Amino acid sequence: MHPPRRKTAPLQELSIEHEDIMVSLEEGFHKAALFLKTISLKEEYGKTWWDS
Distance CA 51, CA 7 (A): 15
| Residues 7-50: tens digit of each pLDDT | 566 556 778 888 889 999 999 999 999 998 898 877 777 777 77
Contact 15, 29 (CB under 8 A): no
Residue among 8, 19, 14 nearest 33 (CA): 14
DSSP letters along 8-32, please?
-SPPS--------TTS-HHHHHHHH
pTM for this structure? 0.54
What per-residue confidence (pLDDT) applies to 39? 86
